[in-house]
Amino acid sequence: MNRDLEFAPWRFWAEADEAEQADQLDVQRAMAGSRPEHSFAEKCFVSELASVQCDRLDMGRSSYIAAGALVTGSIEMGTHCTINAYSIVRGPVRFGRAVRVGAHTSIIGFNHTMTDPDTDVFRQPISERGIEVGDDVWIGSHCVILDGVRIGERSVIAAGAVVTKDVPAGAVVAGNPARVLRWRVPALAPSDATAAPGMTPGPAPAGRPDPDLEQVLRAFGDRARSQGAQILARAWDARTGLFADKPGGPATVRAQCDAVEIADLLTGHAPPQRSREETVAMLRGWQDPRTGLVGELGRPDPQAPPDLTDPDAAYHVLSVGYALDLLGSSFPTPIHAVAGLSADDIVTFLDGLPWPEQAWRAGHWVDALGTALLWNRRQDAAAPPGQLEALIGWLILRADPQTGMWGQGGKGGLLQPVNGFYRASRGTLAQFGIAVPHAERVVDTVLRHARDARYFTPERQNACNVLDVAHPLWLVRAHDYRTAEQSQLAERLLRDCLGRWHDDAGFGFSAGGAAGARSDAEPGLQGTEMWLSIIWLLADLLGLSGALGYRPRGVHRPEAATSVAGLGR
């Protein structure tokens, strides 16, 4: 084999010949055969010149281990991760998506204790807390990252840094010990970042929450994470081998995806009811090869290809796509129903959506369209030029400068435009990391909507309506506008929903009315996944999300899934 590719594995699948590619797949099969805990997604590479001594190795799509690397323990790698030449990664270590580790770096997820001065250190017990690295993190050469560290998304660890404390999302850190130099993502910087060069944890609070709220959130996070396995077991139907949203209910595509998201949030692993490989194969197998969409289970004509007019198939672009992403995989084919649309087709499609009277429904289709473009671009699928530009350009130009929204209010007050804004912006501006136009007007509109007693008194709340307030405020939080009011609202909604947790069952979708009589108040997977994400967003608006011990990484992830600039490379 060309030895250059052993040291530059990101070039392997483009430059290696068929025999070399077959040899690499044989290497992976042999590793997986010797240890069932080893799994490899598409287009991974493990150099035969690396020393891989893992108890568990889970490599996402297009992830690589280069020559000379030493990799041991339990290692999880998301998609597009690279451990470069002569680096040492010793687990437990968990990488998110697009983590790059420079040469000669050491990431050590355990430590020797030294409590007994009369015993040689190497004879004393080992402690391990593990290391977690978020999405889109660049770790330079000759860095050292020590046990127990959490490195936030979109951060950069400068060459030679020694990281002993958690790194906030979006920061650039350097030195020994590492300290924040500046912010790669200025929107994630705390308001006093320039005055505090140390490891300042995330955005500063928008107001002054009750001082006991952090402890309440910490206790809730501990409680929820300790019950993740029971919540999943409750929804599992051993007869069908599938999850249902609630015990005794029908199995649905979304329930399988919600289970993946909840397992990732609360346990850090795939649902234990089936292997990761089985779940990936099942979800990929449901994609229709003609349209690239996933229809609902048990639909009347399973032979008829689903299309984007089917609301279930449209939402499955999100739910199945992100479930596969969390599992280190992807759809087997592009979303063909979108791949062939020209820029003019997209503008015509947007013009025809029911914005005036049904902005939420319009946002639903935009969310599916934007997310399909994301998955297709990640696969480098052939498409007419200008698709994303047409979608984003239409939204920016058509946003109402008075409200920041794309729809209009009516008898339901601002429910339709605000909920439609969340769906449309989630799949486009938020997902691709693009600034929201008229951000202060968005805050005005959302805060006005949140005063509507029809939707926001405690007994009338549901997950959709609260999420569709929490996410827009989080999305424009860097504008530092009406922050005290946002803080008060976030704290009020947090305290409302935290009290609705059901032990070993999770959350219902709705509060259930004054008497708790609504059927969607029964705990289920959908309500649990959505409220866990809502709680994180509201807590983060207050600067307290770190107390929860989890962070959404799927459909309701807070950060962009990619950037337009990154997709252009």
Nearest to 483 by CA among 535, 447, 430: 447
Q: What is the length of the chain?
A: 569
Start-end of H helices in 379-482 = 387-398, 415-425, 439-449, 453-456, 463-475
Nearest to 99 by CA among 73, 70, 75: 75
State which H helix or E strand residue 163 sits in: strand 162-163
Tokens, residue 538: 């509201």
According to the 3-state scheme, what is the secondary structure of 184-204? CCHHHCCCCHHHCCCCCCCCC
Rg (CA), the chain: 24
- Measured between alpha carbons, how far is 165 from 162 in angstroms, rounded to an integer? 9
Dihedral angle over CA of 398, 402, 408, 413, nearest 10: 150
- Whether the Cβ atoms of residue 50 and residue 42 lie closer than 8 Å to each other: no
Q: Which DSSP string do the residues of 202-216 spell out, in sequence order? A: SSPPSS---TTHHHH
φ, ψ dihedrals at 423, nearest 5°: -65, -45
Residue 32: half-sphere exposure toward Cβ, Cα within 13 Å? 14
Nearest to 43 by CA among 83, 5, 66, 12: 12
Distance CA 392, CA 395 (A): 5
Phi, psi for 269 (deg, rounded to 5): -135, 175
> Which residue, 5, 36, 35, 37, is CA-closest to 21?
5
CB 383 within 8 A of CB 340: yes
Token look-up 């339990």 returns 74
Q: Tokens for 160, please give them.
A: 């030679």
In the set 38, 112, 269, 336, the catalytic residue is 112
Cβ-count burial of 186 within 10 angstroms (0-12 exposed, 13-18 middle, 19+ buried)? exposed
Residue 278 tokens read as 């089985």
For residue 372, the one-letter residue type is A
Write out the two tokens for 380.
């480098």
Nearest Cα residue to 143 out of 194, 109, 177: 177
Long-range Cβ contacts of 269-272 (<8 Å, 24+ apart): 270/327, 271/232, 271/243, 272/229, 272/232
> Is residue 112 annotated as part of the catalytic site, yes or no?
yes
In 3-state terms the chain splits into helix, strand, coil percentages (rounded to 5) of 40, 15, 45
Q: Active-site residues: which are they? A: 112
